[in-house]
Amino acid sequence: MVLAGGPDRERVVSLQSGRQIAHALHTAGYTVTTRDALPDNLAALDQAANTPDTILFPVLHGPWGEGGPLQQHLQQRGLRFVGSDATAAALCMDKHATKQTLKDAGLPTPDFQHLQPDDTLRLNPPLVLKPLAEGSSLGMAICHTPDDTHAARKPLHDRFGTLLAEAFIPGRELTVGILETPQSTRALPIIEIRSATDFYDYDAKYERNDTAYLFDLNLPQSTLSRITELALATHRITGARHLSRVDLMLEHDTAEPQILEINTTPGFTTHSLFPMAARHAGIPDARLVAGLVELAASQPAPASI
């Protein structure tokens, strides 16, 4: 059963992802239903999913569907599902908590600050402002001057509340999909993203057709290995399960990778990076989603919290 939609701001993207996953599962030979998962229809979802052979495939994006509340509900009902459990989902949705976890583990991540409306900003421009718990680059602003920062803060605080301020790292934008199998956890091919806009925002991700996705990175093997190692370490340290996508910047001046964030429910739209990387690795969509369902079916439901 594919769970898509939801109440969060990325509802439209989630519905697109859900359609692609359902189609791939049909291709793989599964009997598939799709449910619009919402906080007020969970009882009906529980009833529909309460069969021994049902595996849920949540592909909701945003704080409720991706950030722990939905996962906690599924765990309390003893339901098996694809993806991270509630603890890891909540951690990875909170960008500040994620970066603090990475920093505490000694992994490289740009300097950052948890930013309430009345807080004094200690980071100097250039910097990035982003909502604490949103995806798809919603609400993201790059601020090159103090005036930019002042102009951006109030509208973002008004719309999203708490923000994350992060040092801007000039460099190459990279992403690495992480895929678990019964035998191992592997990194999918690294993708470099070259956006025709100032940064890889919502339009560049889902609306535009002039964003370039590169697999031939022309980097030393030692650098490629370091990027892969950091992505795998991020997946492991945050407790992510089954699949994730780790975003990084390769700094121009030092050629050192810096971890930006981890996404525990990567998109599956026609533009999405995780299935794109899998296809480049020789894994078609049907085999990718079937493998994830089989993995979830082979494991007990995550413990209730």
Domain identity same for 219 and 122: no
Catalytic residue among 14, 84, 244, 272: 272
Binding residues for Mg(2+): 247, 261, 263
Residue 14 annotated among the catalytic residues of the structure: no
Residue 298 annotated among the catalytic residues of the structure: no
Domain identity same for 123 and 97: no
Expressed in angstroms, the distance from the first to the final Cα of the chain is 23
Domain identity same for 265 and 122: no
Domain encompassing residue 133: 116-167
Catalytic residue among 14, 136, 137, 244: 136
Residue 17 annotated among the catalytic residues of the structure: no
Contact between residue 187 and residue 177 where contact means Cβ atoms under 8 Å apart: yes
Catalytic residue among 10, 66, 134, 166: 10
Binding residues: 247, 261, 263
Domain identity same for 120 and 105: no
Q: What is the pLDDT along the chain (305 residues), one digit of tens a residue?
A: 999 999 998 999 999 999 999 999 999 999 999 999 999 999 999 998 989 899 999 999 999 999 999 999 999 999 999 999 999 999 999 999 999 999 999 999 999 999 999 999 999 999 999 999 987 578 899 999 999 999 999 999 999 999 999 999 999 999 999 999 999 999 999 999 998 766 555 555 556 577 899 999 999 999 999 999 999 999 999 999 999 999 999 999 999 999 999 999 999 999 999 999 999 999 999 999 999 999 999 999 998 87
Burial of 299 (0-12, 13-18, 19+ CB in 10 A): exposed
Domain identity same for 229 and 102: yes
Domain identity same for 99 and 209: yes
